[in-house]
Structure 1
Amino acid sequence: MDLGNNDCEPRKSGSFSRISSTNSSFRRHSFNRLGSGIHEADNDSDHQSVSEAGDIGDRALHSKRHSGIIESGGPVFPFDNLVIPIEEHSRKESQPSSPDAILHDKGNNEECENEKELPWFMTYISSRIHLAVLGILGVLTRYLLERLFGPQVVGATSDNSYMYIDLPPNMIGSFLMGWLGTVYKKDISKFSPELAVGLTTGYLGSLTTFSGWNQKMLELSVNGHWVFSFLGFFLGLFLVAYSFIFGVETAKGAKWVFTKTNLNKKCGFEVKNNIITQTILILLMLTLLGLLLGISVALFKKDLESDSNTSHLWLGCIVGPIGVWTRFYLAKFNGKGLGKTKMMKWMPFGTLIANVSASCIMAAFATLKEAVEGKHFGIVSTGMQFGLCGCLSTVSTFIAEFGAMREGVDTWQAYVYALVTMIGSFGLGTLIYSVPVWAKGWP
């Protein structure tokens, strides 16, 4: 779905500058295969693309409105092997450099003329509704996976082990990020960019949680299990990283099969993107949002009165969208760098701020639960941790950015990013949670 009115008009100078940048990206990858060096300007462009591997906030929607091309809607992975030769690319100037770009040119003026767009404010509302609905669904999925793999059913994870309780959701969410956020994101965006952003930023971002991961490691360390805490971070990073890579590779394999067999056309599966389908999708999401929030509020009141252990889940569903929206806005800082000189453009500061701040808030709630007595306060604190902090932080985007950096020019940036995120979250969490627990002698 196009978000601007100029998609079918002749390209303005801003678009040609993007096309020039795209050509540079293709030349860079081609020269890399020949063992050639990379210029400093190319390094800078590569850093920005890598830093935007996950979420880029409103730029995911505004970029299309202005130029018809989004700079980056997903990770730019050199191992995708989707590089088009320079000669061929010169005949396809409107094709974006990233195989995972959220939006791209139609390349068909007749089709563009037949399409109508929703007003900008409807697009704005639609994107927020998608984020809220899919964020709540991510919270529910995370809870179900925690229960399934936890001590109550399978017993694969535990609060007292480095196989922490949020590991299965983080692994599955990272795997799906390879599918929905990397290989198929552009295809989903042809139908609805709001849906593509909602699935990655909303659903997968809420299904995975960095703050929950960090808090479990804090709870292990505060009880003296430092080895388990270290293993939890080390093995956790390893497992989610390879879950993501496995997701990318299987999705690429499935896409190759679909392309070779022409299965989509044989099944006659083709959804037209027009104002009718856009309106239907908005109404559907709005209805789902009303139902999910209404059911969550009703069940929260009921469970709170009956002291049910699912009270925190329903409160988490209620406050979850706030965390998703906040992370969506913070994503604007990804790829921007620091100061006027835009230092460290390769660092996704939006995701970094979201994960570290969510970890600090979760640690603060954990400390308050130790200090303040009260049944209802504990339920509310746990619900805020599970919903607000869980949705504000994300592993799926974090690991997509980490993977893009590992496959980029400067591999060390991936490990710097991971260490800054983990050490920063764990260090601040220790000051907020562990130090008070040790000082007060809380059990």
Structure 2
Amino acid sequence: MPIAPPPPAESTASHESFDVIDGADSSGARDNSHQNDRDPWIPQTYHPAPLHALLVLLSIVGVLIRVGLLRLHDYAGAPVSNVVYPQIVGCVVMGWLAGNKRAIMEWYASETGFALLRVWVNDVGCDPVYGYAVRSPPSQSTLAPIESNILKDVDPPPGSITTFSTWSLATFTELANLQTKPRTVGQDILAALAITLLLTCLALSSIAFGEHLATLPALSLPIPSPSRRDIKFVPTRWGDTKSLHARDLCVLACGAVVWLAVAVACAKDTGGRVNGFAALVGPFGTLLRFHLTPLNARTPVPLGTFVANVAGTALIGGSYVVSHLTRSVSPTCCAFVVGGLMTGFCGCLTTVSTWAVEVRGLVAVGEGGKAYGYVGASVVGGLGVLGVLVGSVWWAGGVVEVGQCAVT
């Protein structure tokens, strides 16, 4: 792709690192009033079909990593909840991607860029599907401030590894003492507060650690062309098959083959059917969160991520009730469907890694009040829907302590 020479340097405002450009259509047109006579963007087009295929493929990988981490640390006498480990791993990966965001964007826009990067670029400030774009100095290797909105997209595999819904359910389990441990109400509150503070601090610190790893020479990605002007990712229309390259067709084929392989394995392997079904339905949660992304640009805080996290938490709460009903429930159906939905769909619909990056982004632009409000609203919103769905049935005696089926 021909690259125009870089324009002369010019003075910029204190928040020049990120500019939000909206109103882009599939042809790459933009409203020049947003530019304020700044440098033009370098358009980079892509077809949305391979992007969705990659979301499916990497969501399956993320689900399997999360299930493995949960089971690895699920043992008697464990010092902390096993929910901690997927959050740490996912957030460290997310931080590393954020630290290498410029290199990832440049690499994709170069002639040798691979289609996989179009997914990960979104996590660090660019939403190609809806025409938003990012300005960032080539030398920058950490999260930069943005002007008014946090624009984040779905982030597999980190977003599929981390899960806000399971975190919320673990917190509510301690708060409501669903396991009927011998302790007081005050101790229940302290236990829930401990999980909330622990996971929040671990998520934020893991993002910072991942960014630090991106500064190490051995782990930082080289920038192909530091003089490149800002990149704008613009989608083509779904029917525009002429824009599909050979690598795009390979991604589409891999996504379809892997999903079908998981479906076949899920049908034949009765022992791992719950995890297989979780990997099968997980991509649908990821795709739903992906299409909630435009809401992030329309509110002072990332509404799309908030809606995805609260909705996924509500769904995992309803699934928990179904799996713990006092009335007879088919164990096979419960384990296969409910367990898969809780682990797969809900786990991929909700995310901690993107949530943590958004909180850090708000703080970076001096919006600490909004960051605290976003954290509080997310925690209270998750616990609130669980209180209505799970707490009301639990306190009415409609569910039992031990579920009728095995749910991860």
Question: Is the structural similarity TM-score above 0.5?
Answer: yes
Asked if structure 2 preserves the Cα contact closer than 8 Å seen for 1:143 and 1:313, the reply is: yes
Code of the aligned partner of 2:376: L
**Quick check: 1:357 aligned with 2:311?**
yes
Question: Mean alpha-carbon deviation: is it higher for 174-183 or for 317-326?
Answer: 174-183
**Quick check: 1:142 aligned with 2:66?**
yes
| Partner Cα separation in structure 2 for residue 418 and residue 395 of structure 1 | 11
| Partner Cα separation in structure 1 for residue 57 and residue 221 of structure 2 | 30
Quick one: which of 108, 129, 139 aligns to 1:189? 108
**Quick check: 1:243 aligned with 2:224?**
no
Asked if structure 1 preserves the Cα contact closer than 8 Å seen for 2:60 and 2:283, the reply is: yes
**Quick check: 1:369 aligned with 2:323?**
yes
Q: Percent identity?
A: 23
| Partner Cα separation in structure 2 for residue 256 and residue 247 of structure 1 | 10
- Provide the residue aligned with 2:301 in structure 1: 347
Aligned residues: CA RMSD: 3.8
Quick one: which of 276, 291, 301 aligns to 1:314? 276
Residues 1:145 and 1:60: Cα distance change in structure 2 (over 3 Å): farther
- Provide the residue aligned with 1:334 in structure 2: 296
Code of the aligned partner of 1:204: P
- Provide the residue aligned with 1:292 in structure 2: 258
| Partner Cα separation in structure 2 for residue 357 and residue 258 of structure 1 | 36
- Provide the residue aligned with 1:395 in structure 2: 352
Code of the aligned partner of 1:360: A
**Quick check: 1:209 aligned with 2:163?**
yes
| Partner Cα separation in structure 2 for residue 125 and residue 61 of structure 1 | 19
Asked if structure 2 preserves the Cα contact closer than 8 Å seen for 1:130 and 1:198, the reply is: no
- Provide the residue aligned with 1:168 in structure 2: 85
Q: CA deviation at 1:148?
A: 2.5
Partner deviation per Cα, 1:61-90 (whole Å, 9 max, x = no partner): 968833599x9xxxxxxxxxxxxxxxxxx9
Question: Mean alpha-carbon deviation: is it higher for 349-358 or for 399-408?
Answer: 399-408
Within 5 Å, which residues of 2 pair with 1:252-267? Answer: 252-254=215-217
More helix by percentage: 1
Asked if structure 2 preserves the Cα contact closer than 8 Å seen for 1:303 and 1:311, the reply is: yes
After TM superposition, where is structure 1 displaced by more than 4 Å over at least 4 residues in a row? 59-64, 255-259, 275-278
| Partner Cα separation in structure 2 for residue 278 and residue 329 of structure 1 | 21
Gaps of 5+ in 2: 124-153, 181-187, 226-240, 402-408
Asked if structure 1 preserves the Cα contact closer than 8 Å seen for 2:92 and 2:210, the reply is: yes
Code of the aligned partner of 1:317: A
Secondary structure of the residue that 2:203 maps to in structure 1? helix
| Partner Cα separation in structure 2 for residue 300 and residue 256 of structure 1 | 36
What TM-score does the superposition give when structure 2 sets the normalisation length? Answer: 0.70
Report the count of equivalent residues.
331
Quick one: which of 151, 176, 185 aligns to 2:75? 151
- Provide the residue aligned with 1:93 in structure 2: 39
**Quick check: 1:27 aligned with 2:17?**
no
**Quick check: 1:227 aligned with 2:149?**
no
Asked if structure 1 preserves the Cα contact closer than 8 Å seen for 2:57 and 2:259, the reply is: no
Residues 1:258 and 1:387: Cα distance change in structure 2 (over 3 Å): closer
Q: CA deviation at 1:128?
A: 0.9
Quick one: which of 94, 99, 105 aligns to 1:177? 94
Residues 1:23 and 1:410: Cα distance change in structure 2 (over 3 Å): farther
| Partner Cα separation in structure 2 for residue 67 and residue 243 of structure 1 | 36
What TM-score does the superposition give when structure 1 sets the normalisation length? Answer: 0.65
Residues 1:257 and 1:232: Cα distance change in structure 2 (over 3 Å): closer
Asked if structure 2 preserves the Cα contact closer than 8 Å seen for 1:369 and 1:377, the reply is: no
Secondary structure of the residue that 2:157 maps to in structure 1? helix
Q: CA deviation at 1:60?
A: 12
Residues 1:212 and 1:188: Cα distance change in structure 2 (over 3 Å): farther
Q: CA deviation at 1:311?
A: 1.7
Secondary structure of the residue that 2:298 maps to in structure 1? coil
Which protein has greater RCO, CA pairs closer than 8 Å, 6+ apart?
2
Residues 1:174 and 1:196: Cα distance change in structure 2 (over 3 Å): farther
**Quick check: 1:416 aligned with 2:373?**
yes
Asked if structure 1 preserves the Cα contact closer than 8 Å seen for 2:286 and 2:349, the reply is: yes
Gaps of 5+ in 1: 10-18, 31-44, 53-58, 72-89, 95-103, 107-111, 158-162, 266-274, 338-345
Residues 1:292 and 1:68: Cα distance change in structure 2 (over 3 Å): farther
Residues 1:231 and 1:134: Cα distance change in structure 2 (over 3 Å): same
Code of the aligned partner of 1:298: V
- Provide the residue aligned with 1:343 in structure 2: none
| Partner Cα separation in structure 1 for residue 108 and residue 81 of structure 2 | 34
Code of the aligned partner of 1:375: P
Secondary structure of the residue that 2:28 maps to in structure 1? helix
Asked if structure 2 preserves the Cα contact closer than 8 Å seen for 1:131 and 1:198, the reply is: no
Asked if structure 1 preserves the Cα contact closer than 8 Å seen for 2:53 and 2:256, the reply is: no
Q: CA deviation at 1:141?
A: 1.2
- Provide the residue aligned with 1:65 in structure 2: 28
Residues 1:194 and 1:438: Cα distance change in structure 2 (over 3 Å): same
Secondary structure of the residue that 1:93 maps to in structure 2? coil
Residues 1:420 and 1:124: Cα distance change in structure 2 (over 3 Å): same
Asked if structure 2 preserves the Cα contact closer than 8 Å seen for 1:127 and 1:198, the reply is: no
Asked if structure 2 preserves the Cα contact closer than 8 Å seen for 1:188 and 1:196, the reply is: no
Secondary structure of the residue that 2:351 maps to in structure 1? coil
Asked if structure 2 preserves the Cα contact closer than 8 Å seen for 1:333 and 1:348, the reply is: yes
Question: Mean alpha-carbon deviation: is it higher for 199-208 or for 248-257?
Answer: 248-257
